[in-house]
Amino acid sequence: NLSDKLDKAFHILKGHGKITEVNVADTLKEVRRALLDADVNFKIAKDFTARVKDKAIGQDVLTTLQPGQLLVKLVKDELTELMGGDVAGINLQGSPTVILMSGLQGSGKTTFSGKLANYLKTKKNKKPLLVACDIYRPAAINQLHVVGQQIGVDVYSEPDNKNPVVIAENAIAFAKANGMNVVIVDTAGRLAVDQEMMDEIARVHNAIKPQETLFVVDSMTGQDAVNTAKAFNDILNFDGVILTKLDGDTRGGAALSIKSVVNKPIKFVGTGEKMDAIDVFYPDRMAERILGMGDVVSLVERAQEQFNEEEARKLQKKIAKNEFGFDDFLAQIQQVKKMGNMKDLVGMIPGASKAMKDVQIEDDAFKHIEAIIYSMTPAERKKPALIDVKRKNRIAKGSGTKVEQVNQLMKQFDQMSKMMKMMQGPGGKNLMKMMGG
Ligand code: GDP
Ligand code: MG
Protein backbone atom coordinates (compact mmCIF):
# COMPACT_ATOMS: atom_id res chain seq x y z
CA ASN A 1 0.00 0.00 0.00
CA LEU A 2 0.91 3.65 -0.07
CA SER A 3 2.42 3.67 3.40
CA ASP A 4 4.77 0.79 2.60
CA LYS A 5 5.87 2.45 -0.61
CA LEU A 6 6.58 5.74 1.10
CA ASP A 7 8.41 3.84 3.80
CA LYS A 8 10.68 2.41 1.13
CA ALA A 9 11.13 5.84 -0.37
CA PHE A 10 12.30 7.30 2.89
CA HIS A 11 14.71 4.44 3.40
CA ILE A 12 16.75 5.74 0.52
CA LEU A 13 17.73 8.63 2.73
CA LYS A 14 18.85 6.45 5.61
CA GLY A 15 22.50 6.77 6.35
CA HIS A 16 22.92 10.09 4.61
CA GLY A 17 24.12 12.71 7.03
CA LYS A 18 22.80 15.58 5.07
CA ILE A 19 19.94 16.31 2.75
CA THR A 20 21.47 16.84 -0.64
CA GLU A 21 19.92 17.49 -4.00
CA VAL A 22 20.75 13.99 -5.14
CA ASN A 23 19.27 11.96 -2.32
CA VAL A 24 16.22 14.19 -2.08
CA ALA A 25 15.56 13.72 -5.78
CA ASP A 26 15.82 9.95 -5.45
CA THR A 27 13.51 9.84 -2.50
CA LEU A 28 10.97 12.19 -3.98
CA LYS A 29 10.91 10.19 -7.19
CA GLU A 30 9.78 7.26 -5.07
CA VAL A 31 7.30 9.43 -3.20
CA ARG A 32 5.83 10.53 -6.51
CA ARG A 33 5.59 6.95 -7.73
CA ALA A 34 3.85 5.96 -4.51
CA LEU A 35 1.35 8.79 -4.86
CA LEU A 36 0.62 7.87 -8.46
CA ASP A 37 0.09 4.26 -7.46
CA ALA A 38 -2.43 5.50 -4.92
CA ASP A 39 -4.41 7.18 -7.70
CA VAL A 40 -3.23 10.67 -7.02
CA ASN A 41 -3.56 12.80 -10.12
CA PHE A 42 -0.27 13.01 -12.05
CA LYS A 43 0.02 16.78 -12.06
CA ILE A 44 -0.82 17.02 -8.39
CA ALA A 45 1.80 14.42 -7.50
CA LYS A 46 4.38 16.22 -9.61
CA ASP A 47 3.66 19.67 -8.17
CA PHE A 48 3.63 18.16 -4.74
CA THR A 49 7.08 16.64 -4.93
CA ALA A 50 8.46 19.77 -6.54
CA ARG A 51 7.31 21.85 -3.58
CA VAL A 52 8.77 19.43 -1.06
CA LYS A 53 12.04 19.42 -2.95
CA ASP A 54 12.28 23.20 -2.86
CA LYS A 55 11.78 23.19 0.86
CA ALA A 56 14.16 20.32 1.55
CA ILE A 57 17.17 21.51 -0.41
CA GLY A 58 19.52 23.50 1.72
CA GLN A 59 17.75 22.79 4.99
CA ASP A 60 20.05 22.93 7.94
CA VAL A 61 19.77 19.62 9.64
CA LEU A 62 20.60 20.75 13.14
CA THR A 63 18.74 18.06 14.98
CA THR A 64 19.57 14.78 16.56
CA LEU A 65 17.35 13.02 14.11
CA GLN A 66 17.96 11.56 10.72
CA PRO A 67 17.57 13.96 7.82
CA GLY A 68 15.20 11.38 6.38
CA GLN A 69 12.86 12.16 9.21
CA LEU A 70 13.06 15.83 8.46
CA LEU A 71 12.00 15.02 4.93
CA VAL A 72 9.16 12.91 6.31
CA LYS A 73 8.05 15.98 8.20
CA LEU A 74 8.25 18.15 5.09
CA VAL A 75 6.24 15.60 3.13
CA LYS A 76 3.72 15.38 5.94
CA ASP A 77 3.29 19.14 6.22
CA GLU A 78 2.88 19.42 2.49
CA LEU A 79 0.35 16.57 2.43
CA THR A 80 -1.60 18.26 5.20
CA GLU A 81 -1.62 21.46 3.20
CA LEU A 82 -2.73 19.59 0.11
CA MET A 83 -5.69 18.17 1.98
CA GLY A 84 -6.85 21.52 3.24
CA GLY A 85 -4.61 22.49 6.14
CA ASP A 86 -7.08 23.15 8.90
CA VAL A 87 -10.17 21.30 10.02
CA ALA A 88 -13.25 22.59 8.18
CA GLY A 89 -16.30 22.80 10.40
CA ILE A 90 -19.89 22.36 9.33
CA ASN A 91 -22.09 25.43 8.98
CA LEU A 92 -25.01 25.08 11.38
CA GLN A 93 -26.58 28.49 10.85
CA GLY A 94 -30.14 28.92 9.67
CA SER A 95 -33.33 27.80 11.31
CA PRO A 96 -33.54 25.14 10.37
CA THR A 97 -30.08 24.40 9.00
CA VAL A 98 -30.59 22.73 5.64
CA ILE A 99 -28.02 20.19 4.51
CA LEU A 100 -28.18 18.67 1.02
CA MET A 101 -26.45 15.42 0.09
CA SER A 102 -25.17 14.89 -3.40
CA GLY A 103 -23.20 12.15 -5.09
CA LEU A 104 -23.42 9.03 -7.19
CA GLN A 105 -25.51 6.00 -6.35
CA GLY A 106 -23.72 3.78 -3.90
CA SER A 107 -21.38 6.50 -2.74
CA GLY A 108 -22.89 6.31 0.73
CA LYS A 109 -25.30 9.28 0.82
CA THR A 110 -28.08 7.52 2.68
CA THR A 111 -25.71 5.92 5.16
CA PHE A 112 -23.88 9.19 5.73
CA SER A 113 -27.15 11.12 6.12
CA GLY A 114 -27.92 8.82 9.04
CA LYS A 115 -24.42 9.13 10.48
CA LEU A 116 -24.52 12.90 10.28
CA ALA A 117 -27.98 13.06 11.87
CA ASN A 118 -26.73 10.83 14.67
CA TYR A 119 -23.58 12.93 15.09
CA LEU A 120 -25.52 16.21 15.24
CA LYS A 121 -28.04 14.72 17.64
CA THR A 122 -25.56 13.17 20.07
CA LYS A 123 -22.57 15.52 19.74
CA LYS A 124 -24.14 18.87 18.87
CA ASN A 125 -27.39 18.56 20.74
CA LYS A 126 -29.45 19.11 17.57
CA LYS A 127 -32.87 17.84 16.62
CA PRO A 128 -32.47 16.64 13.03
CA LEU A 129 -34.97 15.52 10.41
CA LEU A 130 -33.99 13.14 7.64
CA VAL A 131 -35.69 13.65 4.27
CA ALA A 132 -36.07 10.93 1.63
CA CYS A 133 -35.78 12.54 -1.79
CA ASP A 134 -34.67 9.43 -3.67
CA ILE A 135 -37.96 9.00 -5.48
CA TYR A 136 -36.85 6.35 -7.96
CA ARG A 137 -36.38 3.39 -5.68
CA PRO A 138 -38.97 2.54 -3.02
CA ALA A 139 -36.21 0.58 -1.29
CA ALA A 140 -34.25 3.79 -0.86
CA ILE A 141 -37.05 5.43 1.13
CA ASN A 142 -37.33 2.31 3.21
CA GLN A 143 -33.58 2.29 3.82
CA LEU A 144 -33.71 5.80 5.25
CA HIS A 145 -36.58 4.86 7.55
CA VAL A 146 -34.57 1.91 8.88
CA VAL A 147 -31.60 4.22 9.48
CA GLY A 148 -33.82 6.78 11.22
CA GLN A 149 -35.25 4.14 13.49
CA GLN A 150 -31.79 2.91 14.45
CA ILE A 151 -30.67 6.32 15.63
CA GLY A 152 -33.99 7.64 16.88
CA VAL A 153 -34.32 10.42 14.30
CA ASP A 154 -37.55 11.25 12.42
CA VAL A 155 -37.70 10.61 8.69
CA TYR A 156 -39.84 12.62 6.30
CA SER A 157 -41.04 10.94 3.10
CA GLU A 158 -43.88 11.19 0.59
CA PRO A 159 -43.94 7.81 -1.19
CA ASP A 160 -46.47 8.95 -3.81
CA ASN A 161 -44.85 12.25 -4.65
CA LYS A 162 -42.55 12.15 -7.66
CA ASN A 163 -41.20 15.68 -7.28
CA PRO A 164 -38.14 15.87 -5.03
CA VAL A 165 -38.24 19.68 -5.00
CA VAL A 166 -41.71 19.69 -3.47
CA ILE A 167 -40.82 16.92 -1.03
CA ALA A 168 -37.78 18.87 0.17
CA GLU A 169 -39.78 22.08 0.57
CA ASN A 170 -42.56 20.29 2.42
CA ALA A 171 -40.00 18.67 4.68
CA ILE A 172 -38.50 22.03 5.66
CA ALA A 173 -41.99 23.33 6.51
CA PHE A 174 -42.59 20.15 8.51
CA ALA A 175 -39.34 20.67 10.43
CA LYS A 176 -40.23 24.27 11.26
CA ALA A 177 -43.66 23.21 12.49
CA ASN A 178 -42.25 20.42 14.61
CA GLY A 179 -39.25 22.07 16.23
CA MET A 180 -36.52 20.31 14.23
CA ASN A 181 -33.48 22.50 13.70
CA VAL A 182 -31.50 20.54 11.11
CA VAL A 183 -32.93 19.13 7.88
CA ILE A 184 -30.79 16.58 6.08
CA VAL A 185 -31.96 15.97 2.52
CA ASP A 186 -30.93 12.62 1.05
CA THR A 187 -31.13 12.52 -2.73
CA ALA A 188 -31.04 10.05 -5.60
CA GLY A 189 -27.81 9.30 -7.37
CA ARG A 190 -27.04 7.46 -10.59
CA LEU A 191 -24.26 5.03 -11.29
CA ALA A 192 -22.43 7.63 -13.35
CA VAL A 193 -22.68 11.36 -13.88
CA ASP A 194 -25.71 12.03 -16.09
CA GLN A 195 -27.68 15.09 -17.15
CA GLU A 196 -31.01 14.13 -15.63
CA MET A 197 -29.49 13.60 -12.21
CA MET A 198 -27.58 16.87 -12.40
CA ASP A 199 -30.69 18.80 -13.44
CA GLU A 200 -32.69 17.31 -10.61
CA ILE A 201 -30.17 18.02 -7.85
CA ALA A 202 -29.66 21.53 -9.22
CA ARG A 203 -33.41 22.16 -9.00
CA VAL A 204 -33.57 20.91 -5.42
CA HIS A 205 -30.50 22.99 -4.59
CA ASN A 206 -31.99 26.17 -6.05
CA ALA A 207 -35.31 25.66 -4.29
CA ILE A 208 -34.13 24.94 -0.75
CA LYS A 209 -30.88 26.98 -0.72
CA PRO A 210 -29.03 24.76 1.73
CA GLN A 211 -26.51 26.10 4.25
CA GLU A 212 -24.38 23.08 3.48
CA THR A 213 -24.27 21.19 0.22
CA LEU A 214 -22.15 18.12 0.72
CA PHE A 215 -20.66 15.95 -1.97
CA VAL A 216 -20.42 12.32 -0.88
CA VAL A 217 -17.78 10.21 -2.57
CA ASP A 218 -16.61 6.63 -2.25
CA SER A 219 -12.89 6.87 -1.53
CA MET A 220 -12.33 3.49 -3.15
CA THR A 221 -13.15 4.87 -6.58
CA GLY A 222 -9.75 6.51 -6.91
CA GLN A 223 -9.18 8.80 -9.87
CA ASP A 224 -12.86 8.61 -10.88
CA ALA A 225 -13.75 10.25 -7.60
CA VAL A 226 -11.91 13.37 -8.69
CA ASN A 227 -13.75 13.59 -12.00
CA THR A 228 -17.12 13.08 -10.31
CA ALA A 229 -16.28 15.71 -7.73
CA LYS A 230 -15.48 18.17 -10.50
CA ALA A 231 -18.78 17.47 -12.32
CA PHE A 232 -20.86 17.98 -9.17
CA ASN A 233 -18.92 21.05 -8.13
CA ASP A 234 -19.45 22.67 -11.52
CA ILE A 235 -23.22 22.36 -11.03
CA LEU A 236 -23.63 22.85 -7.29
CA ASN A 237 -20.54 24.72 -6.11
CA PHE A 238 -20.77 22.51 -3.04
CA ASP A 239 -19.40 23.41 0.39
CA GLY A 240 -17.60 20.28 1.39
CA VAL A 241 -16.67 16.71 0.60
CA ILE A 242 -17.55 13.54 2.51
CA LEU A 243 -15.12 10.71 1.95
CA THR A 244 -16.80 7.37 2.62
CA LYS A 245 -15.51 3.82 2.92
CA LEU A 246 -12.23 4.93 4.31
CA ASP A 247 -12.14 1.76 6.35
CA GLY A 248 -10.05 -1.27 5.51
CA ASP A 249 -7.06 -0.68 3.28
CA THR A 250 -8.63 2.00 1.13
CA ARG A 251 -6.07 3.99 -0.80
CA GLY A 252 -5.70 7.61 0.15
CA GLY A 253 -5.40 8.97 -3.37
CA ALA A 254 -8.85 10.48 -3.62
CA ALA A 255 -8.44 12.50 -0.47
CA LEU A 256 -5.20 13.88 -1.81
CA SER A 257 -6.52 14.97 -5.16
CA ILE A 258 -10.07 16.17 -4.57
CA LYS A 259 -9.16 19.13 -2.43
CA SER A 260 -6.74 20.53 -4.94
CA VAL A 261 -9.02 19.95 -7.95
CA VAL A 262 -12.26 21.45 -6.57
CA ASN A 263 -10.68 23.53 -3.80
CA LYS A 264 -13.30 22.48 -1.28
CA PRO A 265 -12.54 21.03 2.15
CA ILE A 266 -13.11 17.43 3.13
CA LYS A 267 -15.37 17.69 6.16
CA PHE A 268 -16.10 14.17 7.33
CA VAL A 269 -15.01 10.65 6.61
CA GLY A 270 -17.05 7.46 6.82
CA THR A 271 -15.16 4.52 8.21
CA GLY A 272 -17.71 1.74 8.27
CA GLU A 273 -21.33 0.76 7.76
CA LYS A 274 -22.45 1.41 11.34
CA MET A 275 -24.05 4.69 12.35
CA ASP A 276 -21.17 5.74 14.58
CA ALA A 277 -18.52 5.16 11.90
CA ILE A 278 -18.10 8.86 11.19
CA ASP A 279 -15.06 11.04 11.87
CA VAL A 280 -14.38 14.72 11.49
CA PHE A 281 -11.70 15.02 8.82
CA TYR A 282 -8.35 16.16 10.22
CA PRO A 283 -5.92 16.90 7.36
CA ASP A 284 -2.86 16.38 9.53
CA ARG A 285 -4.06 13.07 10.88
CA MET A 286 -4.94 11.91 7.40
CA ALA A 287 -1.45 12.82 6.24
CA GLU A 288 0.01 10.84 9.11
CA ARG A 289 -2.24 7.93 8.30
CA ILE A 290 -1.15 7.98 4.68
CA LEU A 291 2.47 8.15 5.67
CA GLY A 292 1.96 5.54 8.37
CA MET A 293 4.45 7.20 10.60
CA GLY A 294 3.01 7.01 14.06
CA ASP A 295 4.03 10.02 16.03
CA VAL A 296 7.34 10.63 14.31
CA VAL A 297 6.15 14.06 13.37
CA SER A 298 5.72 15.29 16.91
CA LEU A 299 9.04 13.70 17.80
CA VAL A 300 10.78 15.66 15.07
CA GLU A 301 9.00 18.82 16.11
CA ARG A 302 10.03 18.43 19.72
CA ALA A 303 13.61 17.82 18.74
CA GLN A 304 13.59 20.94 16.62
CA GLU A 305 12.21 22.98 19.49
CA GLN A 306 14.80 21.76 21.93
CA PHE A 307 17.93 22.02 19.85
CA ASN A 308 18.18 25.57 18.88
CA GLU A 309 20.78 26.51 16.38
CA GLU A 310 22.38 29.24 18.40
CA GLU A 311 23.34 26.91 21.21
CA ALA A 312 24.58 24.36 18.77
CA ARG A 313 26.94 26.90 17.21
CA LYS A 314 28.31 27.93 20.59
CA LEU A 315 28.94 24.33 21.38
CA GLN A 316 30.78 23.78 18.14
CA LYS A 317 33.12 26.62 18.98
CA LYS A 318 33.85 25.14 22.38
CA ILE A 319 34.66 21.78 20.88
CA ALA A 320 36.91 23.37 18.32
CA LYS A 321 38.80 25.11 21.10
CA ASN A 322 38.93 22.05 23.33
CA GLU A 323 36.73 23.78 25.86
CA PHE A 324 33.95 21.24 25.96
CA GLY A 325 33.44 20.23 29.57
CA PHE A 326 31.08 18.40 31.85
CA ASP A 327 28.86 21.46 32.22
CA ASP A 328 28.19 21.36 28.51
CA PHE A 329 27.67 17.65 28.69
CA LEU A 330 25.11 18.17 31.44
CA ALA A 331 23.32 20.82 29.42
CA GLN A 332 23.04 18.36 26.54
CA ILE A 333 21.60 15.67 28.76
CA GLN A 334 19.07 18.10 30.10
CA GLN A 335 18.01 19.03 26.61
CA VAL A 336 17.50 15.42 25.68
CA LYS A 337 15.51 14.98 28.87
CA LYS A 338 13.31 17.95 28.08
CA MET A 339 12.04 16.03 25.09
CA GLY A 340 10.30 13.64 27.41
CA ASN A 341 11.22 10.48 29.20
CA MET A 342 12.97 7.71 27.32
CA LYS A 343 9.96 5.43 27.29
CA ASP A 344 7.81 8.13 25.71
CA LEU A 345 10.43 8.90 23.13
CA VAL A 346 10.83 5.28 22.12
CA GLY A 347 7.05 4.93 21.96
CA MET A 348 6.83 7.68 19.40
CA ILE A 349 8.97 5.84 16.90
CA PRO A 350 6.76 3.59 14.76
CA GLY A 351 7.57 -0.04 15.30
CA ALA A 352 10.07 0.73 18.03
CA SER A 353 7.78 0.15 20.97
CA LYS A 354 7.02 -3.30 19.63
CA ALA A 355 10.66 -4.10 18.98
CA MET A 356 11.67 -2.81 22.40
CA LYS A 357 8.91 -4.62 24.22
CA ASP A 358 11.26 -6.87 26.16
CA VAL A 359 13.98 -4.32 26.67
CA GLN A 360 14.02 -2.63 30.02
CA ILE A 361 14.19 1.12 29.51
CA GLU A 362 15.25 2.99 32.56
CA ASP A 363 12.89 5.87 32.94
CA ASP A 364 15.64 8.07 34.25
CA ALA A 365 18.57 6.75 32.28
CA PHE A 366 20.68 9.78 33.08
CA LYS A 367 20.23 9.84 36.84
CA HIS A 368 23.67 8.48 37.72
CA ILE A 369 25.44 10.58 35.15
CA GLU A 370 23.82 13.73 36.46
CA ALA A 371 24.59 12.86 40.07
CA ILE A 372 28.25 12.33 39.24
CA ILE A 373 28.55 15.60 37.36
CA TYR A 374 26.79 17.50 40.12
CA SER A 375 29.38 16.17 42.59
CA MET A 376 32.21 17.68 40.59
CA THR A 377 33.57 21.13 41.40
CA PRO A 378 33.15 23.82 38.74
CA ALA A 379 36.88 23.60 38.02
CA GLU A 380 36.65 19.85 37.51
CA ARG A 381 33.68 20.20 35.18
CA LYS A 382 35.50 22.73 33.11
CA LYS A 383 38.75 20.83 33.01
CA PRO A 384 38.08 17.09 33.39
CA ALA A 385 41.84 16.38 33.22
CA LEU A 386 42.05 17.61 36.82
CA ILE A 387 40.13 14.60 38.06
CA ASP A 388 42.65 12.22 39.59
CA VAL A 389 42.07 9.08 41.67
CA LYS A 390 41.59 11.03 44.87
CA ARG A 391 39.03 13.31 43.29
CA LYS A 392 37.27 10.33 41.70
CA ASN A 393 36.80 8.77 45.13
CA ARG A 394 35.35 12.00 46.47
CA ILE A 395 32.98 12.36 43.53
CA ALA A 396 31.78 8.75 43.84
CA LYS A 397 31.06 9.25 47.51
CA GLY A 398 29.32 12.55 46.95
CA SER A 399 27.10 11.18 44.19
CA GLY A 400 26.30 7.87 45.84
CA THR A 401 27.89 5.95 43.00
CA LYS A 402 30.86 3.63 42.69
CA VAL A 403 34.32 4.69 41.52
CA GLU A 404 33.84 2.34 38.56
CA GLN A 405 30.82 4.33 37.50
CA VAL A 406 32.77 7.56 37.70
CA ASN A 407 35.54 5.96 35.68
CA GLN A 408 33.06 4.78 33.13
CA LEU A 409 31.60 8.22 32.71
CA MET A 410 35.07 9.77 32.42
CA LYS A 411 35.92 7.27 29.73
CA GLN A 412 32.68 7.88 27.84
CA PHE A 413 33.16 11.59 28.07
CA ASP A 414 36.68 11.32 26.78
CA GLN A 415 35.66 9.16 23.84
CA MET A 416 32.79 11.45 23.06
CA SER A 417 34.92 14.57 23.10
CA LYS A 418 37.38 12.96 20.69
CA MET A 419 34.64 11.73 18.44
CA MET A 420 32.92 15.08 18.40
CA LYS A 421 36.08 16.77 17.28
CA MET A 422 36.51 14.22 14.55
CA MET A 423 32.95 14.32 13.38
CA GLN A 424 32.78 18.01 13.24
CA GLY A 425 32.52 18.50 9.52
CA PRO A 426 33.11 21.82 7.75
CA GLY A 427 29.77 23.20 8.92
CA GLY A 428 29.61 21.09 12.03
CA LYS A 429 26.28 19.82 10.85
CA ASN A 430 26.73 16.38 12.34
CA LEU A 431 27.28 17.53 15.83
CA MET A 432 23.78 17.72 17.13
CA LYS A 433 22.90 14.44 15.57
CA MET A 434 25.49 12.77 17.67
CA MET A 435 24.73 14.53 20.88
CA GLY A 436 21.42 12.84 21.40
CA GLY A 437 22.38 9.55 19.85
P1 GDP B 1 -26.18 5.85 -1.58
O2 GDP B 1 -26.66 5.10 -2.79
O3 GDP B 1 -25.27 6.97 -1.95
O4 GDP B 1 -27.29 6.29 -0.71
O5 GDP B 1 -25.26 4.82 -0.73
P6 GDP B 1 -25.64 3.98 0.56
O7 GDP B 1 -25.67 4.86 1.76
O8 GDP B 1 -26.84 3.18 0.31
O9 GDP B 1 -24.35 3.06 0.68
C10 GDP B 1 -24.00 2.12 -0.29
C11 GDP B 1 -23.30 0.95 0.39
O12 GDP B 1 -22.08 1.38 0.94
C13 GDP B 1 -24.09 0.36 1.51
O14 GDP B 1 -23.94 -1.04 1.49
C15 GDP B 1 -23.45 0.95 2.77
O16 GDP B 1 -23.59 0.09 3.87
C17 GDP B 1 -22.01 1.06 2.33
N18 GDP B 1 -21.31 2.13 3.02
C19 GDP B 1 -21.62 3.43 3.12
N20 GDP B 1 -20.68 4.13 3.82
C21 GDP B 1 -19.72 3.22 4.16
C22 GDP B 1 -18.47 3.32 4.86
O23 GDP B 1 -18.02 4.38 5.34
N24 GDP B 1 -17.76 2.16 5.00
C25 GDP B 1 -18.22 0.98 4.50
N26 GDP B 1 -17.46 -0.09 4.67
N27 GDP B 1 -19.36 0.88 3.82
C28 GDP B 1 -20.13 1.97 3.66
MG1 MG C 1 -29.32 6.28 -1.06
Where do the structural domains in the chain lie, given as residue ranges?
2-86, 97-281, 307-436
Half-sphere exposure of residue 295: CA atoms within 13 angstroms, side-chain side = 12
Answer yes or no: is the C-beta of 245 below 6 A from any ligand 1 atom: yes
What would the DSSP string read from start to end of 12-60?
TTTT-SS--HHHHHHHHHHHHHHHHHTT--HHHHHHHHHHHHHHHTT--
Averaging pLDDT over each range in 13-17, 68-72, 209-213, 330-334, which range is the top one? 209-213
pLDDT of 208 higher than 60: yes
The reported pLDDT for the residue numbered 437 is: 35
pLDDT of 329 higher than 60: yes
CA-closest candidate to residue 217, choices 207, 227, 208: 227
Answer yes or no: is the C-beta of 251 below 6 A from any ligand 1 atom: no
Q: How confident is the model at residue 72 (pLDDT cuts 50, 70, 90)?
A: confident
The β-bridge partners of 102 are 215
Atom of ligand 1 nearest to the CA of 143: 8
What lies within 8 Å, CB to CB, of 32 at 6+ separation is 45, 46, 48, 49
pLDDT of 425 higher than 80: no
Answer yes or no: is the C-beta of 270 below 6 A from any ligand 1 atom: yes
CB 244 within 8 A of CB 274: no
Atom of ligand 1 nearest to the CA of 246: 23
Which residues crowd ion ligand 2, with CB under 5 Å?
A: 109-110, 140
Measured from the Cβ of residue 362, the count of other Cβ atoms closer than 10 Å reads: 11
What lies within 8 Å, CB to CB, of 327 at 6+ separation is 373, 378, 381, 382
CB 267 within 8 A of CB 282: no
Q: Coil, strand or helix: which one is 402?
A: coil
pLDDT of 81 higher than 60: yes
Pairing of strands 278-280, 266-270: antiparallel
Q: Which fold has domain 2-86?
A: Four Helix Bundle (Hemerythrin (Met), subunit A) (1.20.120)
Atom of ligand 1 nearest to the CA of 105: 2
Answer yes or no: is the C-beta of 244 below 6 A from any ligand 1 atom: yes
State the Cα–Cα distance between residues 169 and 163, nearest whole angstrom: 10
Ligand nearest to the CA of 190: 1
Domains 2-86 and 97-281 share a fold: no
CB 213 within 8 A of CB 94: no
pLDDT digits (tens, 9 = 90+) for 341-394: 555 555 555 444 444 444 444 545 577 888 899 999 999 999 999 999 999 999
289 marked among binding-site residues: no
Averaging pLDDT over each range in 215-224, 280-289, 319-328, 423-432, which range is the top one? 215-224
- 389 or 65: which carries more pLDDT confidence? 389
| Terminal Cα-to-Cα distance of the chain (whole angstroms) | 31
Q: For the domain 97-281, what is the CATH superfamily, name and number?
A: P-loop containing nucleotide triphosphate hydrolases (3.40.50.300)
The CATH classification number of 307-436 equals: 1.10.260.30
Residue 38 CA, ligand 1 centroid: distance in Å:
21
Measured from the Cβ of residue 332, the count of other Cβ atoms closer than 10 Å reads: 19
pLDDT of 207 higher than 70: yes
